[in-house]
Structure 1
Amino acid sequence: MTRSGKRLWARLGIAVGSLLLVPAVGALAVLPPPSVPAIDPHGPVNFLLVGIDPRGTHTKPLADTIMIAHIPSNRRGVYLFSLPRDLVVGIHAYPRSGSPAQRTKINAAMALGSRVGPDKYDVAQGFDLLSRTVGSVTGIRKFDAGAVLNFEGFRKLVSVLGGVTMVIDQDVVSEHLKPDGRPRDRRPGCQGHHKCLRPYVGVQKTYRKSRVPVRLRGWEALDYVRQRYGLPRVDYDRQRHQRQLVKALAGQVARDVVADPAKLPAVIGALGDSLTFIGGAHGALAWAGAVRDLRLSTPVSVTLPGRALFDDGRYLGEQLDPGAREFFAAVNGDRVSRYVTDHPSMVD
């Protein structure tokens, strides 16, 4: 394989990683397999996808989206589930960043682990502490691979594809944007800082419930899946919408690239530096080939049961219900298919 071909496969491996290394592998059919040692995963396989805001290396990265893809050992299906970003958990001490043990919201784990110097932060190092924290919650001892993608990367990917088609399953009103996509105005006392909980005023972009799929532009798709205020289940509804977007994007990437292979460089290039791939002992090339060979089906989206945690009326974060622990036990016991069959209400 030529050097340019290997670079393309490396970028493709990263792109696949951004889509949870699972359902977009149909796009790989248009290229020959990479000339790297093959991975033959045994037993269940788990991937971790983290979404962050594009804040730069000088700002602590917060994990606004924490999503897991679980593949059973029989390879019959892919199960997507999310952890609330405000889930209150214990985070272990992390000597590499100088972070002490503490109990706080799980989205802080990446920020706490990412410090590499004064006002300098490394996403991959933060991912390490976050993955350990997620493992403590779920019982998943180690993730086989993962990816950190900032939301701008999702927006660019959707834009390169010419939009994404997905069902709007409930009315959603944007907290952040006007109907034309411009940022909403800020209240006079909330200018120039982020201390206000809900600083915006004025007209809002609205996404109406529709039984038929709706075509969303890049900025619309990103805005839609970031909303939680005003939704009946708040962050749990947002998590579901984010999983829906990942599924829709994955399928669309596969279909579009197979139909028109010339789109592949643009699709890969859209992610640019927006994504960091973490492949464990193997690189992106090896994982791209491994996922290609799995020939997996469309993911099943699972919503974990949970609720808000309050102290004398003050919001502290989120906590998961006992049903979530039972689900985690099924994941780690390699019997998740049977569990969701017995608990259909958890399937979106």
Structure 2
Amino acid sequence: MVQARVAAGEYVPEWRIPGAATRHRRGPARQPVRRQSAGLKLARGVVAVASVVTIAASGLTWAGTHHLVVGFTVSSALGVDAPHSTGGAENILLMGLDTRKDLHGQDLPPDILKQLHAGDSSNGGYNTNTMILVHIPADRKNIVAFSIPRDDLVDVQGVDVPQAKIKEAYGRKKALTENELQAAGVTDPSELETRGREAGRAETIKTVRALTGVPIDRFAEISLVGFYDLASALGGVKVCLKHAVSDGYSDAHFSAGEHTLTPAQSVAFVRQRHGLQNGDLDRTHRQQAFMLSALNQLRDAGTFTDLGKITALVDAAQRDVVLSSGWDLATWAQEMGTVPDQRISFSTLPVVRYDTVDGQDVNIVDPAAIRARVQRAFGMRPSPARKVVPAATAASATDAASATVVDAPVPDSGKPVTSDSGVPCVN
């Protein structure tokens, strides 16, 4: 239980919420995996869905594990009236939170924070520093995924500002909701945390849906420690770097070439942005490369040959992942696992330019161009084109922000990374 909080509803980029020092472990008792072949399929299915930012709907199989579904935290943030895809296709939003807390808002143990090399629980916040929108077509064959750069300046609704970095939609709405609940007399920290996070998820989903112009059928959420736990369960993922890097902020210190990462190195690898030529855009490429390399590793039948690894993966997924309600994981993963020659392609949404708004570095984007690109990639008819005012100009026009335009080359979103490229080599 969180014992003390910041001033009611306060939002700051580096949110500070003191809490209990012990990480909460939860989940109902589970039946043991009965045989190794079923366990291998189970592990693949768990990674397909529950690792979220690790594999992104890889479509690996699930076998006879309906009892597992009850172990996940379930969210209704999509809403009953949300638009849905038609014709058998589906879109899944994967959200990675940068919070240094667990699902219950409790502080992580010091030894885990040390491994994360991400400061203590007063650092970070409830920012969705990783957002990936995955499209699975009706035939389940050619899966398309877009990383959404976290610093994209976008229109937001239902929060305290008209525009914000897209990563902030979650935390701003969470803080605003908790403020309103406290004003209404709600004092239970657990209820505030639960309802605040649910509002943050709904705001993020709504914001991504407005930016991309496509429905979102399902979503999954994982935190920084969840990624660490899943990397631990994977037992080492191979990555490749084009150049040597050394970054004290993320503790990413790697020579050029291939590396098999420890859990702590995995976190550093996907978090580093300082010292990279394209900053945060290069970080999205790191995340994509990690996911695809992990997927290729899991496609090797020899990867999971012991029940210890399988159990660790299942435990991590159930402990750290939040899934949208109504998601029949067993049926879904079994269906995905029957598709031969499945292919996944990752791209990053384009950025028009870098800018500074109210003293913060932001990405200026063209929402109309983004919608057209995503809708075409997802096999939808693009929405009618309309004139869009660049975000910085719109902000200035409404006195919502002060923008400084800097002449610079168009940021490089990079080439698509695909599942048939082995271990992708990135900056």
Does residue 206 (structure 1) correspond to residue 271 (structure 2)? The answer is no
SS at match of 1:129: helix
Give the equivalent residue in structure 2 for 1:84.
149
Q: How many residues align?
A: 298
Picking from 184, 208, 217, the partner of 1:144 is 217
Deviation, 1:323, is: 5.3
Amino-acid identity (%) = 21
Once structures 1 and 2 are overlaid, which stretch shifts more, 131-140 or 321-330? 321-330
Query: C-alpha distance in 1, partners of 2:152/2:342?
Result: 30
Kindly indicate whether the alpha-carbon contact (under 8 Å) linking 2:51 and 2:321 is maintained by their aligned counterparts in 1.
Answer: no
Does residue 112 (structure 1) correspond to residue 159 (structure 2)? The answer is no
Query: C-alpha distance in 2, partners of 1:125/1:290?
Result: 31
Spell out, residue by residue over 1:82-105, the C-alpha distance to the aligned partner (whole angstroms, 9 max, x if none).
111111111111xxxxx4562111
SS at match of 1:78: strand
**Mind listing any 5+ residue stretches in structure 2 that lack a counterpart?**
1-28, 34-38, 69-85, 106-121, 183-188, 383-412, 418-427
Spell out, residue by residue over 1:230-287, the C-alpha distance to the aligned partner (whole angstroms, 9 max, x if none).
21111111011111112222333453677526232121113342211114x3343443
Picking from 222, 229, 232, the partner of 1:156 is 229
Within 5 Å, give how 1:198-347 maps onto structure 2.
Answer: 205-210=252-257, 213-255=258-300, 259-260=304-305, 262=307, 263-279=309-325, 281-295=326-340, 297-311=342-356, 314-320=359-365, 324-334=370-380, 346-347=415-416
Query: C-alpha distance in 2, partners of 1:296/1:101?
Result: 46
Kindly indicate whether the alpha-carbon contact (under 8 Å) linking 1:24 and 1:254 is maintained by their aligned counterparts in 2.
Answer: no
Give the equivalent residue in structure 1 for 2:193.
121
* TM-score normalised per structure 1: 0.72
Picking from 167, 175, 180, the partner of 2:240 is 167
Kindly indicate whether the alpha-carbon contact (under 8 Å) linking 2:270 and 2:290 is maintained by their aligned counterparts in 1.
Answer: yes
The letter for the 1-side match of 2:289 is Q
Kindly indicate whether the alpha-carbon contact (under 8 Å) linking 2:152 and 2:364 is maintained by their aligned counterparts in 1.
Answer: yes
SS at match of 1:318: strand
In terms of fraction of residues, the more helix-rich structure is: 1
Query: C-alpha distance in 1, partners of 2:87/2:340?
Result: 15
SS at match of 1:73: coil
SS at match of 2:209: helix
**Mind listing any 5+ residue stretches in structure 1 that lack a counterpart?**
94-98, 179-204, 337-343
Query: C-alpha distance in 2, partners of 1:271/1:62?
Result: 20
Deviation, 1:154, is: 1.7
Aligned pair in 2 of structure 1 residues 172, 299: CA closer, same or farther (>3 Å)? Answer: farther
RMSD across aligned positions (CA): 3.6
Kindly indicate whether the alpha-carbon contact (under 8 Å) linking 2:146 and 2:349 is maintained by their aligned counterparts in 1.
Answer: yes
Give the equivalent residue in structure 1 for 2:90.
45
* TM-score normalised per structure 2: 0.60
Deviation, 1:144, is: 1.9
Kindly indicate whether the alpha-carbon contact (under 8 Å) linking 2:30 and 2:67 is maintained by their aligned counterparts in 1.
Answer: no
Give the equivalent residue in structure 2 for 1:192.
none
Spell out, residue by residue over 1:107-148, the C-alpha distance to the aligned partner (whole angstroms, 9 max, x if none).
11111333454463333442221011101011112x221211
Picking from 54, 60, 71, the partner of 1:25 is 60
Query: C-alpha distance in 2, partners of 1:305/1:287?
Result: 31
Query: C-alpha distance in 1, partners of 2:314/2:46?
Result: 8
Query: C-alpha distance in 2, partners of 1:163/1:35?
Result: 28
The letter for the 2-side match of 1:330 is R
Aligned pair in 2 of structure 1 residues 25, 13: CA closer, same or farther (>3 Å)? Answer: closer
The letter for the 1-side match of 2:278 is R
The letter for the 1-side match of 2:268 is D
SS at match of 2:206: helix
Give the equivalent residue in structure 2 for 1:68.
133
The letter for the 1-side match of 2:150 is R
Query: C-alpha distance in 2, partners of 1:90/1:276?
Result: 26
Query: C-alpha distance in 2, partners of 1:106/1:169?
Result: 29
Deviation, 1:72, is: 2.6
Query: C-alpha distance in 2, partners of 1:326/1:273?
Result: 37
